[in-house]
Structures are given as C-alpha cells and as structure tokens.
Structure 1
Amino acid sequence: MTTDRPKTPLLDKIHSPKDMKGLGDRDLERLTQELRSETISAVSVTGGHLGAGLGVVELTVALHAVFDTPRDRLIWDVSHQCYPHKILTGRRDRIRTLRMKDGLSGFTKRSESPYDPFGAAHSSTSISAALGFAVARDLGGKTDEGIGDCIAVIGDGAISAGMAYEAMNNAGHLGKRLIVILNDNEMSIAPPVGAMSSYLSRLYAGAPFQELKAAAKGAVSLLPQPFQDGAKRAKEMLKGMTVGGTLFEELGFSYLGPIDGHDLEQLLSVLRTVKARADGPILIHAITQKGKGYAPAEAARDKGHGVSKFDVVTGEQKKSPSNAPSYTKVFAESLLQEAADDPRITAVTAAMPDGTGLKLFHDRYPSRCFDVGIAEQHAVTFAAGQAAGGLKPFCAIYSTFLQRGYDQIVHDVALQRLPVRFAIDRAGLVGADGATHAGAFDIGFLSNLPGMVVMAAADEAELKHMVATAVAHEYGPIAFRFPRGEGVGCEMPERGEVLPIGKGRIIADGAGVALLSFGTRLSEVQKAAEALATRGIKPTIADARFAKPLDTEMILDLAARHDALITIEEGAVGGFGSHVAHFLAEEGVFDTGLKYRSMVLPDIFIDQANPADMYAVAAMNAEHIEAKVLEVSGVEVLTKRA
C-alpha cells in the first residue's frame, strides 16, 4: 500500500487559520491543492469519509480565510466533511488517528477543539445550532472569545429534513444575521430524493436577480462547464410565488447563487461580500462535486462516501476477507426471500438504502421500496399508514437514527397497535463512528412501550428466523435488532422459521450460575463458559431472544435452579436486564436469596475504537463475563478493564 506523504510546503506553515490571513488569493489556491492531497493521504491510512471532505476543500479554505474562526462559529452539518477543516485548525499532527482509539473523532466534537463549536454526526442540526449561537451573541451570552458571525454549512441531502426548515422558518422570523451555505452536490450518502431535490435542480440556472449576487460574481454566466449545462434545467420560480422570489426567500432568507463551489476566486468574492454586507439571514447556494479531485472517488457510485484504507495511486481499498455474511446482508436477503411469497411486504428507509441493505430490495421490487430521504419521523408514520392500509411494512433504520422518530413510534405506531416491523441495524457499539452512532438505547426506549415486541438476534441464523417472525406478526409493532459487521459463521437455515413470541431457548445446561444473554454477546458468553470450564465451573447458557415480552417461564426456571442469574445485553441500563429485575422483584424471587447481576453498557458515551476495544471499555467481553461469574461464585479474581 502506498503511504508516502505528499509534499505540502505551504500547508506545512499552517498551524491555525490565523496563519492563512496573510496569504494572497494565489497562495490560497495552492493551499487547496495541498490540502486535498493531504486529505486523500490521511484517509488512505485511516479509512473514513473521503468524498464529502474532498467536495468542500475550496469552501473550507475560503471560510477560514475570510472569517475569524473560532470567534466566528463555523458549524458543519453532519460533519463527515470536516477532515480538511481539522487539518487547518491545529489537528494535522493527529489527522492519521482519525476514527481510531484515543484519536481524532470522525466528526466535529466540542471537547476536541475550540474550532468545533458544535458537535455533530446526525444530520440537519446545523441551522438550528447556528441560530442559537446568533441569539446568544445578540443577548450577550458568555464565552471566552465572544461570538461573531454564525455560519452553518449544510448539504442538499441534510436540507431535505424537516428540522432544517423548522430552523429556517424561525431564523427568517427572527431576522438575525446568520449565514447558511447550502453545499449542493446532488448527493448525500445516497442520491437525494423528493421534491426538494427537484426544486434545487430548477435553481441551477437563470439570470441574477439581486444586486448583491451580481456584485459577488454569482451570476450563472460565470459558471464553468458542466454547471452551465445545468442551466438548461431552467431556474424557474415555483408557481404561486411572488416574482423574483425563491423558496428560501419565502422563508425569510436572502438567496445568493448558485455559485461554483470549486472556484476559489468566486467563493472568496462571495464570502467577502456577505461578510461585509449581510444584515439578516442569508443562504449561499454553492454547487460542488463529492469526491472532487480524486478520480477513484469521483468514479465511485457513492463518490467515496465511506471507505476503508486504500492505495492512493490505484484507489483500491484494503478490506479484510469475510468469514461470514454481514448481518445487514442476511437481513436484506431474508426479506427478499419473504417478499417473493408475500406481495404485501414493503420496505422503508430514511436515506440509507445501501447501509440498511435495502438497495437489494429496491432492485428487485422498486414499487414496494421507499427511500424517504433524511426524514426518520416521516418514515415511521409513513410505515404506520401502510400498516393501517393492510400492508406489511419493514422500516429499516439504524438504532441511532431511530431515536429521531421516537414520538412517531409511540403515538403513530404503538398507541394504535399497528404492525410496523422495525429492522434495527447497527445495534450496540459500532466502532470507528463512535458514540454518535452507537445503538445503545433502543432496547430501553422500545421495551417500555405497551404492545411492542422486541427481539435481538444472537447470530445470523437467528436474524433470518426473526425476519420470518416479523412477517408473520400481525398484532402490533415488532422490532428486531442486529449489529454492524459479520455474523459468527454459523450454519444458515434455508428458510427462516417463525419463532413463538416471547420464548427464549436454553443453549447449554449447567449448574450454579445461569447466563441469560440478549443479542450477539452470546458468542462472548460461550467463550467465557469455555474458560470457566477449566476451573470446573459449568454455567447454564440461555438466549432470551425477546426483551418484550419476557419469557417469564424460562426466567423463573433459571432462577429456581441456580444460585445466581446474570443477564448480558448490548444496550444501556433500563433495557432487558431492568425488565428481568423488575419481574423477579415483583415475583418475590429475590426474597429467596437469588444473586442477580445485569451486564449492560456503562453510563458513559464510549469514544471510537474497534468494537472489541469499545466492549472492553464497557467491560462486556468474554473475560469480563467470566470475571462476573467468578465474582458471584465467590472466587476472587483480578479483572482487566480498558
């Protein structure tokens, strides 16, 4: 793998944005070239989000050159495009630790740098946060350096979410000086969908209609190819709006654009003009290309959104060989198998057709698959409407993103007992994306809802059974969770079997201590049991399968036959173990002297590392399970914690 670092004599002199202030425009142009090369080189070593950062290199340089960060608050929406920003803001010496244990976060993070005024990783929050900073500025909020301009950079995918419009509507009403930059690359993680995307397409061309725009060189006639070709898509004002208005102006923003987001001269001119003249909320519409300047990323279908380590020369990614299918692939293929026999099965995702595996479903059944864009709230209620209409919708959303639709799960699904099937990917700790993407809370926030069925797959074969179980379940909502990454390599059934609701299974009978696992920690439980066997301890191992409803019969049996019961789950306190404890307390089982322990994720947010290291921090690997058994058995042992 090629790891030689590029020559960057100008970038080598930049230790903070203050070092850019004395550079002329030609030097800034050179800086963009070196910054792009350094970004490519760094991500080739670490892996991560490549295309998004390459698409905003010129914009990043221009923003830091024109504005006075960190006093001027620069907020990156989602922030997977922030690697060039980190390089320019004093973190270049650590840039090759991106997404690694004890390294730089792959997203903006307040505790990491004063140049990251607001943390992000979920989409569509930047305008709300920037407006909050603007209000704090105008009301004399206390900060060390004071607050200057407030700038939000948001992509065309993220601006399709409702929260962005709620913020813009409020900003237009308040009239505060606020700068929003729409980074329009016609592509978020997947190609953007919906009316907003179509509207932006109609904005790609037309004559300037503001003096400010003309002064800032934002006229379409100044755009190079292929942007002038885009002019043919006709910048027409939406019907019914006032002459000279746009959707953004109707929301109270001055609109400037579209401009070429890779033309540094044009960007500098626009930003300097805005800095000097803006007196209220303004939206700058910049057209960019994701993966810009690196041919392998430009050619990739996802424009190099998420990449593993790669060879800079060839762009070839280095991936570990797979020993088993990924859980995501097992879910997708199982759903396809079920959908072939049941035309009522549909699939819904929120801008993650690849990540959830539903692209396979869309390719086979396009009329039954719906990507609603970055709109988890809508996705849940949309699925609820389908269920009320007699369909069998599978709503496939990452655990961390399902949090965004919680009110809809409660009000629109659970309260009405509608049979929406929730396929919850990325359950538990996810590795390099860190705390922002950890699936830590869904067991708790779903299991407390009346009528909800909550399952967790112990392995890929169990996941196949749970897809079949969800298809057959017609009496209310049902959810099944599974982690990121490969399965354990177990033998796969030809077809999933419908599991009896609320029934677990005994994996191995033993004595003294019972280990009741919920989810894929079962493999770690089995490793712990092997180690315990060398000490003459043989625990009973059970797979709960269901957090709700609990298999109360099995739990009472385990409690009656053992001195101690330990539950293990890949979720936070308040989930499966809490429900088991509540049940046992109500049954009076603790009065008999049963020792009970619950192994859950600790009450902290765990930073990025590989999953094994993250579970070590959580004290939930095999060695920790072994130590817990020895503890309740009265055997003293020194435990290792990360």
Structure 2
Amino acid sequence: MTDRPQTPTLDRVNSPADLKSLTDADLRRVADELRAETISAVSETGGHLGAGLGVVELTVALHAVFDTPRDKLIWDVSHQSYPHKILTGRRDRIRSIRQEGGLSGFTKRSESPYDPFGAAHSSTSISAALGFAVARDLGGVTPEGIGDAIAVIGDGAMSAGMAFEAMNNAGALKKRLIVILNDNEMSIAPPVGALSSYLSRLYAGAPFQEFKAAAKGAVSLLPPPFQEGAKRAKELLKSMTVGGTLFEELGFSYVGPIDGHDLDQLLPVLRTVKARATGPMLIHVITRKGKGFAPAERARDGGHATAKFDVATGQQHKAPSNAPSYTRVFADTLLQEAAADSRICAVTAAMPDGTGLNLFAERYPSRCFDVGIAEQHAVTFSAGLAAGGMRPFCAIYSTFLQRGYDQVVHDVAIQRLPVRFAIDRAGLVGADGATHAGSYDTAFLANLPGFVVMAAADEAELRHMVATAAAHDAGPIAFRFPRGEGEGVAMPERGEVLEIGKGRVMREGARVALLSFGTRLGETLKAAEALDARGIAPTVADARFAKPLDRDLVLTLARNHEALITIEEGAIGGFGSHVAQLLAEEGVFDTGLRFRSMVLPDIFIDQASPRAMYDVAALNAADIEARALDALGVTRLGKRA
C-alpha cells in the first residue's frame, strides 16, 4: 500500500456541482490533486493509467463548465474516465476499479447517472452524442433531463469510419453538438494514417509563437463574447491561419488547437462554446498521454495499461512467469513462418503491441500493416492481399473482430479468400469484463461455409495452428487463443501442419467422453482425474477444430460411451451446437446417448479474475466433473441417481 496523496481541495468536491463554486485557481489545484489521486489509485489496482492522466485538466474543465449529468458527457472508449469517476461521486470506490464487485474500468450506465452511455470499444461517442442531441430536440426524456451532448474522442478513435459517419450525419442535421477531439498523438500505439498527419499539420504548420503574436492584433476581429476568451486562449486563433478545413467541410465549426493541459485556455473556450454554439462544434485540444507521471510519459504506450506499481519508481509488480504468453508464442511462430515464406504478411487494427505484431514490424516492416482503429478495413484489406497472392494474417482481438463481421462474410467467406485470422483474447478476459470478452467468435465464424475454425488447447498447439494457417490456401482459416500465459507445456522447435478437421484423443476410457475445444482442456483433464478417483475412467479428446468437425472422432465417442460432454469457452451456438447437429443428423440420439454441452452462460459476466469468471460460467474442473456425473446419473456418493 502506498501513502495516499494530500488532496485538500479535491476533498471538497463530492460532485461536479461543487466545482462551480471554486475559483479558476482552485480548479487548477483540483486538477493537480486529481492527477495525484488517479496515480495513487491505479498503483493499487492496476488498470488504464496514461489515458486518464492525459485528460485530467479537460475533465475538470468540462465538469466545471457544463451541467452534468443533465449535459451528457460521453467518453469515447472511456478507459480515460477514472478522473471523471473520482469527480462524480465514486471516489470512495475508485480503488475497487476493475476488481470483482467493484467499479468498471469503463463508463457504465448502470453505475452512475454521470455515465449516460457505456463504452469500451472506440469511435462510438459522436454517434451516441448525436443521438442524445436529436432526442433532446424531439422532446426525449431522461431522469436528469437532456441538455448539451458532448463527445470526447481521441485522435486514434477518430481514424475509424464510424466517427466520420457520425460527423457526416451531424453536419447535415446541424444540431447543437460539441465534439472534443483529444489529440495526444497516441491511442494504444502511435497513430497511423493520413488523419494523424493532417492533425499534426494543424498544430505544426507554423510556430506557436507566431499565433501568440498575431493574437493581440486579431482579437478585435472576433465577436465580443469571444474576445475575452481569445485573450486568454490565444491558440484559438490558430484555426484562422491553419484552418480546421476537414472538419468544417463536414459541417462543424472548428476551434483550436488549444493546450489541453492549460486551464487558462480550456475554461474560457468551453465557456464561450457553451454560451454561443448553435450547431455542431469541434474543439481540438492537444494533450499528452501519461501527463504528470514520468514513467508513463517515458513508456512507448504512454502508460496505457499497467499492473500494480510503485508510485515513486513506476516499477510494476508482476508475478514471474514460467510459461510464455500465448500472444508471444503466436508472434514468434509467425516470424518463423515469415522467414520461410515471403508471401506472409501481417495486419493489425491499431494493436501492434497487444497482438505481438510489433515484433513482426521490426523484422519485416514492409510486410506489416497497422491500419488504425479500423477493423472493417483491416478485414477487407487482408482480403485484397489474399486475392493478390499474399498470405495475410489478420490479427485482431476476438471482441474487436465483431466490428468487422460483415466484411468477414461478404469480402472473405463468400469469395473463399485465404485470409488467416489470428483471434487473440478468446474466452473470458478478467478485469476488462463483458465488453472485451471473446465469447462469440466460434459461433459467428463456424456458421460460415468454407471457414476453418481452430482453437489452441495450449501454447504448443498454437504453434502448430499458426503453421497450419500459413500452409492453408483453400479458403479462410481462423485460430483462437486466450489472453495470458500458456500452460507451461514443452514447445516444439517448429509448428507442424495439422490435418484439417482432425482432433486427437488424450486418454482412453469408458462410459463418458469429454470432448474439449480450446484451452478448457487443462480443466477437462483435471476433471478426468477426479472422475478416476470415483471409479469412472473417462475418455478425453481435444477437438482442435470446430469446423470442419472431426466427424469420425465425434461419432466414435458418441457410439462407444453412455454420455458425451462438449466443453468450450464460447457462447451458445458454437462448437457444441455443431456437434449436436451432427449427432442429430446421424440419428445418434435415438440410441439413448446422453449429450451435454458446456458453454458460456447466456449472460454478460462482469469483471473479476479469470478463475472467478469461469466459476460463474461453470466451466472449471469441478463443474465438468459434476456435469459428467449428472449425465451418467451418478450422485456425488458414487451411486446411481
């Protein structure tokens, strides 16, 4: 436990309403203390740090100027919302963030009226804010009322097509809407693409001092309500010289860029906009991710996500590992395959570090493509690469692949293009909770004709599946693997190409067959040991493939055992459903087979440790053992029920 910071001014703030009685000097002190409190809290819990530190002054200014929760403040992605939570009556619970039963690491409607819209994926804020603005003008009602709608969106999130779709619509509707573009030249990784270059030109096209000098003579050109604000926020005039042309062409009035860490600039600009804006307004603020905490500022990712750490040194407290992470195994294996095949290339949607492709980019920069926060584009771009004779690996987290599903169907599957989908963070992910759970990919991919869908039971199997995908040119292929460390199994030097649609039997037994798909195999083997102790020796098999199914394996297990149980870390409609369909088609149920399918429950599971989440899902060894006993009609005492 670290010493808590002294926060006498922040201690006077129990809700945003308390900020309105403070002087601007007091607000600066609140910001300094809020930054210290955020650092202290995250040092105890771990979590997203850098993004929140970058918007401390902006958070204070927005809550001081606007009338939240009547005014709807919508944070894009919302991993930067920790300071917002502290100011909105949740300070006493901030050290429970991302813990079981604690505050969410993102905004959440059920948590507070100050969270009018939940988020954890990017680029949704402008669409949602426009929805509130239109609802307001149509007479919509919320418990707090609806005033202004304010979206705070990062420059990385602005690269997604959905943000531009929303801006295009907002510009046409001409509703009063305020968009804060939080430009810190950083999402999770350094930004890429033409938009990033455009934003850089907006504030680097001419020296700041030139605009400061010009400000004195240009203030008289502004309408009177703007003059005082412009005197204190001289960077406001930069838009007159450099221009916010792109945003203005979309129908937005553009103000900026201004220093997002300078309350002397933020407060007058926000006050003027609140008083004067009539249509869509974009305020361009420049911030620094990790601001005010040197270790975060020095980090390549701006201190994006951290484990618990020491406030004085920034040293993170991570338990030592005896096994490599699945992500690292994927990255290292892909490098091996790419060394032998110049057609292999890699695509990521703004997650080079998270997917391990930063290592690929270092070795093969001309064959690695970070397309920004644009999963739809990533999928279709990969399809084009495949159609052009390359062997693309499209590496996307399971939860983010959902955003590109139409492209998976229309651009990849229908054309039978050999795109290789590396699906990281499959299954339950712990502290990020329901928004980041990889629950649905098996179900939504295995129903597509011609798709091959694999799941790695351990890190050695992942190596084999990368090699299998590299060699597969007959159509699209996907392999899923979880977050975190492997099982500690012996690793082969090179991956072997697996026979498509063939599983493996791990141990022979009788009466009940346990058929696992994915990394629940370890828990399945533990359950088999427990059943052994009860005098029931089960067969355990690893399916490897959800599609195509190993028909011979499934039917052999079904015909030679009293009961067959499938186990997977995915939603209803996945592997178990395909097995059930096969058994029904072959008439196996008519023989009296007792079939059970263990899947994730039909609920969204809140954040907790992965172990606790799998307890909720009833997919741990004890649950598998109990299901086997139930299927056999055996009580816990070993007798027939």
Question: Per the shorter chain, which TM-score range?
Answer: over 0.9
Q: Is 1:99–1:433's contact at 8 Å kept on the other side of the alignment? A: yes
Q: Is 1:347–1:395's contact at 8 Å kept on the other side of the alignment? A: yes
Q: Is 2:376–2:404's contact at 8 Å kept on the other side of the alignment? A: yes
In structure 2, do the counterparts of structure 1 residues 65 and 341 end up closer, same or farther at CA, with 3 Å as the change threshold?
Answer: same
Query: Alignment partner of 1:282: what SS?
Result: strand
Query: Alignment partner of 2:599: what SS?
Result: strand
The amino acid across from 2:606 in the alignment is D
Pairing partner for 2:227 from 215, 220, 230: 215
Q: Is 1:218–1:256's contact at 8 Å kept on the other side of the alignment? A: no
Query: TM (normalized to structure 1)?
Result: 0.95
The yes-or-no answer on 1:305 pairing with 2:304 is: yes
* 1:481-500 CA distance string (max 9 Å, x none): 00000000000001100000
Alpha-carbon distance in 2 for matches of 1:107, 1:538: 46
Alpha-carbon distance in 2 for matches of 1:86, 1:279: 29
Q: Is 1:203–1:236's contact at 8 Å kept on the other side of the alignment? A: no
Alpha-carbon distance in 1 for matches of 2:189, 2:168: 26
Alpha-carbon distance in 1 for matches of 2:548, 2:222: 64
Query: TM (normalized to structure 2)?
Result: 0.95
Q: Is 1:218–1:258's contact at 8 Å kept on the other side of the alignment? A: no
The amino acid across from 2:266 in the alignment is L
Alpha-carbon distance in 2 for matches of 1:464, 1:304: 30
The residue aligned with 2:464 is 465
Query: Structure 2: where are the runs of 5+ without partners?
Result: none
The residue aligned with 1:343 is 342
Q: Is 1:97–1:103's contact at 8 Å kept on the other side of the alignment? A: yes
The yes-or-no answer on 1:388 pairing with 2:387 is: yes
* 1:162-196 CA distance string (max 9 Å, x none): 10000000000000000000000011100000000
1:237-276 equivalences in 2 (<5 Å): 246-276=245-275
The amino acid across from 1:248 in the alignment is F
The residue aligned with 1:118 is 117
Alpha-carbon distance in 1 for matches of 2:460, 2:180: 47
The residue aligned with 2:513 is 514
Alpha-carbon distance in 2 for matches of 1:406, 1:28: 45
Question: What's the % identity of the aligned pairs?
Answer: 77
Alpha-carbon distance in 2 for matches of 1:341, 1:217: 61
Alpha-carbon distance in 2 for matches of 1:204, 1:114: 36
* 1:514-554 CA distance string (max 9 Å, x none): 00000000000011111111111111000000000000010
The amino acid across from 1:363 in the alignment is E
The residue aligned with 1:182 is 181
The residue aligned with 2:369 is 370
The residue aligned with 2:2 is 3
Q: Is 1:220–1:258's contact at 8 Å kept on the other side of the alignment? A: no
Alpha-carbon distance in 1 for matches of 2:449, 2:232: 56
Q: Is 2:516–2:541's contact at 8 Å kept on the other side of the alignment? A: yes
* 1:345-399 CA distance string (max 9 Å, x none): 0000000000000000000000000000000000000000000000000000000
The amino acid across from 1:54 in the alignment is L
Alpha-carbon distance in 2 for matches of 1:171, 1:120: 20
The residue aligned with 1:57 is 56
The residue aligned with 2:325 is 326
The residue aligned with 1:48 is 47
Alpha-carbon distance in 1 for matches of 2:561, 2:26: 73
In structure 2, do the counterparts of structure 1 residues 495 and 432 end up closer, same or farther at CA, with 3 Å as the change threshold?
Answer: same
In the TM superposition, what is the alpha-carbon distance from 1:637 to its structure 2 partner? 4.0
In structure 2, do the counterparts of structure 1 residues 512 and 172 end up closer, same or farther at CA, with 3 Å as the change threshold?
Answer: same
The residue aligned with 1:426 is 425
The yes-or-no answer on 1:31 pairing with 2:30 is: yes
In structure 2, do the counterparts of structure 1 residues 92 and 515 end up closer, same or farther at CA, with 3 Å as the change threshold?
Answer: same
The amino acid across from 1:265 in the alignment is D
Alpha-carbon distance in 1 for matches of 2:615, 2:410: 37
In structure 2, do the counterparts of structure 1 residues 216 and 473 end up closer, same or farther at CA, with 3 Å as the change threshold?
Answer: farther
The amino acid across from 1:372 in the alignment is V
* 1:215-239 CA distance string (max 9 Å, x none): 374689946xxx99xx9xx9986xx
In the TM superposition, what is the alpha-carbon distance from 1:245 to its structure 2 partner? 5.8
Alpha-carbon distance in 1 for matches of 2:25, 2:5: 20
Alpha-carbon distance in 2 for matches of 1:450, 1:236: 55
Q: Is 1:202–1:235's contact at 8 Å kept on the other side of the alignment? A: no
Alpha-carbon distance in 1 for matches of 2:605, 2:474: 37
The yes-or-no answer on 1:539 pairing with 2:551 is: no
Alpha-carbon distance in 1 for matches of 2:487, 2:240: 53
In the TM superposition, what is the alpha-carbon distance from 1:600 to its structure 2 partner? 0.3
Q: Out of 214-223 and 268-277, give the one that drifted further.
A: 214-223
* 1:259-280 CA distance string (max 9 Å, x none): 0000012111011000000000
- Say what the alpha-carbon RMSD is for the aligned residues: 1.8
The residue aligned with 1:131 is 130
Q: Out of 11-20 and 92-101, give the one that drifted further.
A: 11-20
Alpha-carbon distance in 2 for matches of 1:572, 1:202: 46
The yes-or-no answer on 1:286 pairing with 2:298 is: no
Q: Out of 210-219 and 28-37, give the one that drifted further.
A: 210-219
Query: Alignment partner of 1:80: what SS?
Result: coil
The yes-or-no answer on 1:485 pairing with 2:484 is: yes
Q: Is 2:523–2:620's contact at 8 Å kept on the other side of the alignment? A: yes
Alpha-carbon distance in 2 for matches of 1:544, 1:294: 48
In structure 2, do the counterparts of structure 1 residues 216 and 351 end up closer, same or farther at CA, with 3 Å as the change threshold?
Answer: farther
